[in-house]
């Protein structure tokens, strides 16, 4: 089995972040994520990755300090488990998931939870894979998102009430985002440029505190798009996608 390593305050500056791998040139999203992680690691956040240049990693945190609109006692929240296509079939996903579950048990946690949906959607970890370990639906929204949980003691977490509504008062194109995902920085710039060139009113809401994350009006922590008060997508936007939304 290949060796895995955890990011720490000591090695964070030198290790690649797996989701976007750059050898020489800087990347605004990677730089932003490093800064975000530097604070989160102090709170028990875990980023564990394959010790090579590959997109093979798991990222999780204590639910109490996880930047997600989920509430519950004594859980870990699994943000992301990602094994790229070139590394599938080698047992890496299982090794990472088992590490997280074992860590939860070592800490005396009540279980582990993660975001899912009635149908697999972009930017969500593989739900079928998670269900093989015993994850079950603990809560759901009317538009099909689900909170999956593996409970060790019978307790269950839940979406925060505001997140389940998936609605806001503003009618403008509104995007809630944070710097956890390194793809977000350039997505923000693309949307800003498109809206400026086309006279579209845009409201960008940077989620820069734990409280804001816990009070989000949608289920996804690092990118949520709303238009005319309704939740639209967690997908990053290009011009074609924006046009489809704005025609509604």
pLDDT per residue as tens digits for the range 222-242: 899 999 999 999 888 889 999
Question: Tokens 């582990």 — which residue?
Answer: 112
Contacts of 189 by beta carbon, 8 Å cutoff, 6+ apart: none
Give the C-alpha separation, 117 to 236, whole Å. Answer: 18
Give the C-alpha separation, 149 to 139, whole Å. Answer: 9
Beta bridge partners of 241: none
pLDDT at 28: 83
Beta bridge partners of 9: none
Check: pTM over 0.85? Answer yes or no.
yes
The mean pLDDT of the chain is 92
The mean pLDDT value for 175-180 works out to 96
For the range 126-134, what are the long-range contacts, defined as Cβ-Cβ under 8 Å and sequence gap of 24 or more? 126/81, 126/93, 129/81, 129/93, 129/97, 130/78, 130/81, 130/97, 133/97, 133/101
Contacts of 84 by beta carbon, 8 Å cutoff, 6+ apart: 54, 55, 56
Q: Which among 240, 223, 173, 231 has a CA at the least distance from the CA of 200?
A: 173
pLDDT at 27: 78
pLDDT at 2 over 70: no
pLDDT at 220: 86
pLDDT at 18 over 80: no
pLDDT at 211 over 70: yes
Give the C-alpha separation, 180 to 182, whole Å. Answer: 6
Give the C-alpha separation, 237 to 232, whole Å. Answer: 11
pLDDT at 118: 86
pLDDT at 113: 98
Q: How confident is the model at residue 168 (pLDDT cuts 50, 70, 90)?
A: very high
The strand order across the sheet containing 173-177 reads 202-206, 173-177, 223-227, 230-233
- SS3 of the chain: helix, strand, coil, percent, to 5: 30, 25, 45
For the chain, the distance separating the N- and C-terminal CA atoms, rounded to the nearest angstrom, is 50
Q: Which pair of tokens denotes residue 243? A: 């046009």
pLDDT at 22 over 60: no
Q: How many residues does the chain have?
A: 248
On whether the CB atoms of residues 182 and 20 are closer than 8 A, the answer is yes
Task: Indicate the range of 20-24, 93-97, 124-128, 244-248 predicted with least confidence.
Answer: 20-24
Q: Which among 83, 163, 164 has a CA at the least distance from the CA of 130?
A: 83
- Report the Cα 58 to chain-centroid distance in Å: 11
pLDDT at 17: 82
Q: Which carries the bigger pLDDT value, residue 86 or residue 70?
A: 70
pLDDT at 26: 64
């Amino acid at each position: 089995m290949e060796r895995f390593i955890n990011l720490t305050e000591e090695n964070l500056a030198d290790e690649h972040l797996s989701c976007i791998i750059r050898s020489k040139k800087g990347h605004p999203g990677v730089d932003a994520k490093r800064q975000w992680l530097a604070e989160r690691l102090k709170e028990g956040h875990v980023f564990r990755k394959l010790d090579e240049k590959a997109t093979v990693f798991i990222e999780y945190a204590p639910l109490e300090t996880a930047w997600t609109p989920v509430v519950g006692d004594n859980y870990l929240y699994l943000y992301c488990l990602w094994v790229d296509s070139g590394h599938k079939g080698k047992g890496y996903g299982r090794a990472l998931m088992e590490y997280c579950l074992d860590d939860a048990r070592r800490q005396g946690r009540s279980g582990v939870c993660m975001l899912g949906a009635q149908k697999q959607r972009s930017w969500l970890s593989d739900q079928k894979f998670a269900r093989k370990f015993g994850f079950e639906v603990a809560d759901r929204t009317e538009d099909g998102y689900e909170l999956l949980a593996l409970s060790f003691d019978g307790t269950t977490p839940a979406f925060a009430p505001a997140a389940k509504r998936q609605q806001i008062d503003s009618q403008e194109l509104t995007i809630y985002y944070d710097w956890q995902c390194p793809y977000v920085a350039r997505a923000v710039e693309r949307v800003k440029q498109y809206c400026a060139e086309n006279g579209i009113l845009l409201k960008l809401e940077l989620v820069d505190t734990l409280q804001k994350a816990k009070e989000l009006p949608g289920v996804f922590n690092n990118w949520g798009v709303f238009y005319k008060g309704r939740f639209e997508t967690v997908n990053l936007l290009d011009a074609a996608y924006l046009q489809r939304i704005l025609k509604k």
